[in-house]
A = this chain, B = another copy of it.
Amino acid sequence: MQRETKQRRAIRRVFLESGRPLVPEEVVEGGKRFAATLGIATVYRNVKRLVEEGWLKTVEIPGDPVRYELASHPHHHHFVCRDCERAFDVHGCPQEIDSLAPDGFQVESHEIVLYGTCPACC
């Protein structure tokens, strides 16, 4: 039987309110507002389950630990701040991008990551 715990609610709420991809440690920090004892193991467990359930999806940024974001967001890409290391959503996507592949290469998907400075760090 599946239980609805305070910690699990806190984790979902953090994602709903964050609006950007989060690493597990960020979820712990953000979640303590709603569940003071929230531990890292619980975050890993619930994030894994939420991905399996299709509520979260993974966001992999080169060189960084895996981040997670709401699966309901439509196709988009990300901006990573070199100062605070937070990731943000970027909307829009160049049409022609998949056609950059050389002949004979079949493209299934793509990732774009912009790097720079976010407004808070400018």
Contacts and interface: CB of A to CB of B under 8 A. Distances in A.
Contact of A114 (B79, B93, B104, B110): B110
Say how many copies of this protein the assembly contains: 2
Contacts of A115: 107-111
A40 interface: no
Given A62-B61, A91-B100, A100-B77, A111 B113 contact: yes
- Contact residue range for chain A? 35 or more
B112 A116 contact: no
A114 to B, nearest CB: 5
A94 B96 CA distance: 8
Interface of A: 60-63, 66, 77, 79, 82, 88, 90-94, 96-98, 100-102, 104-119, 122
